[in-house]
Every structure is written in structure tokens, then in C-alpha cells.
Amino acid sequence: MTTIFDSRDPRYKTPYGAVPCGRRITLTLRPDLTEDFTACSLLLFEEFAEAYWEVALSPAGEEEGRKLFTGSYDTPDQPELIWYGFRLRRENGEELWLGKNGLGPEKDMARWQQTVYDATLPTPDWFGRGMTYQIFPDRFRRTAVPDPAGMPGDRVVHQSWDEGMEYLPDDRGEIRNRDFFGGSLAGVEEKLDYLKSLGVTTLYFCPIFEADSNHRYNTGDYEKIDPMLGTEEDFRRLCAQAHARGLRVMLDGVFNHTGSNSRYFNADGAYPDLGAAQSMESPYYPWYAFFHWPERYDAWWGIKTLPAVNETHPTFVDYIIQGENSIIRRWLRAGADAWRLDVADELPDEFIAQIRTVMMEEKPDSFLLGEVWEDGSNKIAYDQRRRYLLGRETHGLMNYPFRVAALDYLRGGRAEDFREAMETIRENYPRPAFYSAMNLLGTHDTPRILTLLGASEPLEDRTARAHYRMTAEERERGLLLLRAGAVLLFAFPGSPTVYYGDEAGMEGFEDPFNRGTYPWGGEDQALINHFALLGKLRSDRLSLQVGSLHWLWAEGPVLAFSREEGVETTAVILNVGEAEAQVSIPWRTHLAIDVLSGQQFATVHGMLTVRVLGMDGMILI
């Protein structure tokens, strides 16, 4: 059957994708004349307003053996998710419903999504245009072996930077993450020129506030830099030095929970403040939900060391967001340029919206990113549809859907599936959010990308995974695919984000094996040079920063797309299969140069034909 409606084709729907509030949308159905449809209507449901409505589509003539029905509607003046489908009637009175899954009975109709967002609040474009580098602070760079005396928690410091990390439960059966390597803010400052040479424009830090674990996601004191990392003065100096080099700084805000040994909960009494676990008279007591005080309480995913916080309590909101010296405000004033919200899907929408409002007041050009692992435009969390991307909350999200689709493709999947997954995101996300996504191949929460691409089989035994190193053949294959994956990462709309050490060839399975120390002096220099070249291309070519996206080829292992801005075009061709592939794409100049190899190709009648080796790629300019 011929296509009746395609939401991504301007012949059927304009404008494309998500639209601002109050925008008129025109839709056209194009059924085959032989279908004998005589009447059509558009069925719409506004989710947040819980409103159903119907728009009749008018006959609009015939074209190429098809009968056209067209109509328009105006989107609401408030942000909304609209779900829509169509009802079609034949001459004999038979009715059918058209959804994403085709024609059928009404009960089977899968509706299309129309995102309607508030476009009045601007999204800073600096984040999406540039490259982000994620740092796990304890493991990036140290300037000296620290002395843990007087620091929170019973910390153990590795004397050698190259030692293996602790990963087995202690004598109480707990994995406490109390072994430290001593990475510091001064160490990061020492390597700012290296980061600049990679093309980095944003430094994203995993938590840097005082906590008794090496990951620091169990915040002890939001007002203090962890003493092993340095001081507030060290942080201010690092920000100043980063800004002088054109780099911005993003902090990790962990506001859904605190540590049980924090100054706010204070289960072990380490802080002088009267914590919620010590007294119901504590000013922090209302922040937590106790089932039976003090030993039973709500905790993040049931982890007792991470008591969950009531983000709607006025004193917590004032402390984190609204107060004159709130946590959000004070660290922006100290030099931060952005916040990343940990587990954003567990934070109330109003809480996130208030953070954005305060950030705009304090530093209008600051950026707010959310950790969401799925399509954030229609995410349901705790039985509620979320509003992250409707223009009043986050500017952008971590693009885990990109990672999933890219990994599937790189590990033998179909280019068609990658294109479809990314078109779904592009269609559902407001354009500013799509171009401000944090695109990634790996983070502190995922195995190392090189290991995923090169290791033959996952290992069941944790100790075996701790000591596993790829064979020469596995590593060679992994490196080839990683180089191709990096090309995809840096060429796609959104901020290409590199997890520290991925550019140096680090290996490792899941946490904590993905959190090893950066191999200073043992880097894969050829891989670093590849990433640096991609970073330079990203910074030099406007088309890679803000250019429109055009799919040129997606078939089996071969993927090609271009980015265009004005007269500048950059095209990428990837072949992740074993065999060489030939590809022909349109090209509007007489010559194309592959930046990666230096090869030059001539066009013939507006077409460019190239042969791409297996597990290789090209960037054509």
C-alpha cells in the first residue's frame, strides 16, 4: 500500500517536528485513489489538558494517482504533548483509523506525537556547539599523594597511581568506595592546555562536593569542595584558568538524595550540625521521609547510605535554589557555568523549573542539563509524564538514546536502525534541545566504549572482569570501531562528549572498572591525535556546530549524512562492516577532500562516488 501519511515529509506535514506554542500545523493525507476514501478527519488529544478534539480535512484535489485531504490546527498557547491520528471513511460508510502502525480499527491505532514547547526562554547555544569532556575527579590527575587525615570517612589512599581499585565487598558485605587515588582540581588545572588541545569547550565534573566516597554522589556538604580535591579558592582559580582558555565548567548537582553521613542526615555524628538521624528537632528533619525514626527511611533505590530528600519542602528549596546564597547561586558565582542534574527523572518538574529560573537570574548564559536515559520528550516517571523539554525546565538532556543506537550500529547493527532512532529523537525534541543534547558513547555509569567494541564476550566473574585486558586482536578491532564511532559522535548535532581517558584508549567493564586512573605516560597517542583532529574540525566548521542534518545513505553497515550551514557542507561516510563498500552521494562542488586521509575525489554530474574500507570512515569537506 502506498504511503498515506508521513510526519517527516513536508508534503504531508509542515512544519517538521516539535513546534512552539501557538504555531499553525498543516497536515495532508495522500491515500491512493483506489482506496475510495471520501472523508477524513484529524483526531487530537492534549495530554496535560486532557482534551480531545477533531479537525475535518478538506478534499484538496488529486495528484499522481492519489486523492488529497488537507487541514490545519493551531497548537495551544501552553506547552503540551499532543497525540494524533486520523479517521477515514469510504463511500460505503466503512471507517478505518490511521496511526503510525497503519490502517486498522480504532483500538489498535498508535498515535503520532506532536511536541509543543515554550520558545520564549532562550537556550544558550555554546554547549551544543562545542565539545564536552567528562572528568571523574578522583581519577583524572593528581599532583601529590594526599594525606586523608581529618577528612570525612575512613579513606584509604593508593600510593601508586597505577594500582588496581578495590571492588570486592568488605567484611560487612558492603562496597563502600572508600579507596581514593587523590585526583584534584589542581591536577585538572595542570592539564587544561591538554584539554584545550583536544578541542574541549566544556568541562563536566562528576560531583566535587565533600563526601566520604570516591564517587561523591553521596553528598556530605554542598557548601564545601571535598578536601582531597582542594578548596573553594582552588575551584575559583580553576574556573578562571578554564575561562581564560575558552572553556566552561559544568557541575554535577545531586539533589534527589544526600549521603547518610552528611551534615544534613548525620547518621554517624561526624558533623557538628544536628542531623535528621540524630534529632526530630533538627532543621533538616523535614527534608527526609522516615517510616520509623531513625532507622527506617526512604532511600534512593533502597540504598541506606543515600537517604532520599523531599525536594518540595520549602527549606530544602530555599537552601538549594531560592535563597540569596543558595547552592545553585553560590557555585555559579564561584565560576561554574552549568549544572547537570543527577537522576533528573526523580526530581519534581517544579523543582527543575525553579532551578532554571534562578540560573537565568544569576547567570543568564548558564546551561541546565538533565540526566535522562530515554527519549526525554515523552518520559513517564513515577506515573507522571515529564516536562523536561517543553521549554521551562532543562535546556538539554544526556543523549543516551544516541549511545544505544550508535553502539548497536557499531557492533554490527543496521544503519537504517540508527537513522530511525535518531529521527525519532529529532522529530520529538524541540530544535534547541536536539542541538543541545549531550551526545556520548560512555560515561561513569557505563562500561568503557573500547571494551564494549573490542571484547569478544562478557565475563561472568567479577574478579575476571577486574583483571581483564583485551587481546591484541580484540584491541585492534575495538580501536577501528572506536575511531569510526568518534567520527559519528563529533559530526552529529549536539555536544560530542568524551569520558576521560576514552581518547587515550582506556579499557574496563562496569563500575568501578570503568573508573580507572588516567594513563599519563601510557596513552595511545595515535588515538588521541584522532580525537584532537575531530575536536579541531568541530571548532573550525560551523556546519558541524549548528548545521542542518541530511541523511544521504543508510543501508546495512554503511551510513552517510551531511551537515550544512550556508555554503559550507561537511559529510560523513561510515562503513562498520568487514568488507569494502562503494557509496555515491550528491555533492555540489567539483572536489571533495577526506580530512582523515587527505584523499581528494572529483564529482561527476553532481555525484560523488567513493570506496570506503571496512570498519573505516571519511569526513568530506
User: Among 600, 123, 2, 45, which residue's Cα sits nearest to residue 388?
Assistant: 123
Q: Could you give the residue numbers annotated as active site?
A: 342, 371
Cα–Cα dist 267/250, whole Å: 30
pLDDT for the residue numbered 170 = 82
Nearest 5°: the CA angle 310, 315, 319 is 100
What is the torsion angle, in degrees rounded to the nearest 10, for the CA atoms of residue 261, residue 309, residue 202 and residue 531? 80
> What pairs with residue 180 in β-bridges?
157
pLDDT digits (tens, 9 = 90+) for 349-393: 999 999 999 999 999 999 999 999 999 999 999 999 999 999 999
Residue with grid cell 585492534, as numbered in its chain:
476
| Secondary structure of residue 380 in the 3-state scheme | strand
Mean pLDDT on 468-481: 97
What's the first-to-final CA gap in the chain, in angstroms? 40
Mean pLDDT on 80-95: 96
Cell digits for 196? 584545550
Which H or E run includes 516?
none
pLDDT for the residue numbered 456 = 87
Instruction: Work out the number of other CB atoms within 10 angstroms of the CB of residue 8.
Output: 12
Mean pLDDT on 234-240: 98
Q: Decide if pLDDT at 288 tops 90.
A: yes
pLDDT for the residue numbered 169 = 86
DSSP letter, residue 201: E
Q: Decide if pLDDT at 319 tops 80.
A: yes
Q: Decide if pLDDT at 432 tops 60.
A: yes
Reported pTM: 0.97
Write the CB contacts of 417 (distance below 8 Å, at least 6 apart in sequence). Answer: 405, 408, 409
Share of the chain above pLDDT 70, in %: 100
Q: Decide if pLDDT at 58 tops 60.
A: yes
pLDDT for the residue numbered 185 = 98
Q: Give the pLDDT band of residue 460 (cuts 50, 70, 90).
A: confident
Q: Give the pLDDT band of residue 158 (cuts 50, 70, 90).
A: very high
Q: Give the pLDDT band of residue 138 (cuts 50, 70, 90).
A: very high
Cα–Cα dist 443/136, whole Å: 9
Instruction: Work out the number of other CB atoms within 10 angstroms of the CB of residue 126.
Output: 18
pLDDT for the residue numbered 176 = 86
Cα–Cα dist 116/524, whole Å: 46
Q: Decide if pLDDT at 1 tops 60.
A: no
Cα–Cα dist 178/166, whole Å: 8
3-state secondary structure 51-67: EEEEEEEEEEEEECCEE
| Secondary structure of residue 552 in the 3-state scheme | strand
User: Among 576, 575, 574, 548, which residue's Cα sits nearest to residue 562?
Assistant: 548
pLDDT for the residue numbered 145 = 98
Cα–Cα dist 399/440, whole Å: 7
pLDDT for the residue numbered 458 = 72
pLDDT digits (tens, 9 = 90+) for 323-356: 999 999 999 999 999 999 999 999 999 999 999 9
